[in-house]
């Protein structure tokens, strides 16, 4: 099998994102509604459409520049058996382009493949601007600065359209599709939930999410399940707000600190669990 074929198979499997529901996790939606569907959801009196209005954001983010602290976090990746499979680093920072303040999220992982995600969103609305995924023929990270990706996936958002390009050593693929006007990129959920006052969210709401590399738009059922205390891989005890996200094909969970700095302490992605190990942020 060629290198390009191997990398393509790896990324298609990995960016399935949440292709399999996390074992043992059930949606708190009504039993009559299918996970992630809007049947029994959009028409329910207790479900609200979720838009990231200023009233839902934490007060410290009112100042788009000074209110945001760049972050550098490390997570361990565990399989369904609890065994550690790898690590993921997550950094969030502020940039300015064309006079507009933006947030940049960069994620590197060494399992199930070695890759680097980069996402840029508008700081004022968290609307996505562009994102990319680079695949490397490496055994493990950190990815050297001079390393060249064997395959690059990139997407740009235009009004209600997202344009995607997939480029490898000898082939290129391009496509585009429309997305809901109030949709957010799937990879920015880390950013959204760390800046949002999640404890003020409705118990059940719907968030529109776009996964450009899957050619998919999702209406995601977001359920706030209350507070839980847990120990992360950093051996510290955290009080977190538990969020359950039900997609049309999977379930994902987020555990967000209720106290500053409001980090994502743990989240699930398919059969994998990501747990906070280190915080290298300079607060």
Q: Based on C-alpha coordinates, what's the Rg of the chain?
A: 18
**pLDDT confidence bin for 257, thresholds 50/70/90:** very high
Across 22-31, 77-86, 224-233, 264-273, least confident range: 22-31
Mean pLDDT confidence for 80-98? 94
- Is the confidence at residue 245, as pLDDT, over 70? yes
Q: What is the dihedral of CA 46, 20, 85, 243, to 10 degrees?
A: 0
Tokens linked to 282: 């300079």
- Is the confidence at residue 201, as pLDDT, over 70? yes
Q: How far is residue 70 CA from its own chain's centroid?
A: 17
Q: What is the mean pLDDT of the chain?
A: 83
- Is the confidence at residue 20, as pLDDT, over 60? no
Cβ contact 223:210 at 8 Å: no
Alpha helices in 121-206 (DSSP H): 189-195
Q: How high is the pLDDT of residue 45?
A: 56
- Is the confidence at residue 9, as pLDDT, over 60? no
Q: How high is the pLDDT of residue 36?
A: 34
Cβ contact 86:101 at 8 Å: no
The model's pTM is 0.82
């Amino acid at each position: 099998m060629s290198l390009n074929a191997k990398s393509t198979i790896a990324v298609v499997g990995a960016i399935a994102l949440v292709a399999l529901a996390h074992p043992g996790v059930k949606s708190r939606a009504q039993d009559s509604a299918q996970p992630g569907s809007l049947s029994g959801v959009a028409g329910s009196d207790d479900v609200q459409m979720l838009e990231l209005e200023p009233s839902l954001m934490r007060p410290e983010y009112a100042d788009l520049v000074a209110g945001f602290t760049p972050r550098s976090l490390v997570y361990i990746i565990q399989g369904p058996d609890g065994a550690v499979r790898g690590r993921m680093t997550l950094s969030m920072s502020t940039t300015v382009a064309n006079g507009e303040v933006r947030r940049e999220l960069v994620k590197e992982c060494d399992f199930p493949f070695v890759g680097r995600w980069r996402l840029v969103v508008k700081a004022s609305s968290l609307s996505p601007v562009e994102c990319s995924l680079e695949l490397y023929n490496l055994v493990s990270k950190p990815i050297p600065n001079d390393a060249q990706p064997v395959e690059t996936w990139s997407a740009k958002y235009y009004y209600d359209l997202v344009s995607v390009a997939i480029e490898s050593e000898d082939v290129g693929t391009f496509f585009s599709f429309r997305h809901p006007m109030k949709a957010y990129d799937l990879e920015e959920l880390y950013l959204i939930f760390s800046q949002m006052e999640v404890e003020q969210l409705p118990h059940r709401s719907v968030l529109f999410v776009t996964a450009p590399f899957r050619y998919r738009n999702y209406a995601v059922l977001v359920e706030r399940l209350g507070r839980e205390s847990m120990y992360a891989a950093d051996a510290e005890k955290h009080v977190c707000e538990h969020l359950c996200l039900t997609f049309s094909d999977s379930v994902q969970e987020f555990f967000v600190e209720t106290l500053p700095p409001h980090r994502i302490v743990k989240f699930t992605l398919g059969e994998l669990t990501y747990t906070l190990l280190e915080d290298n942020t300079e607060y």
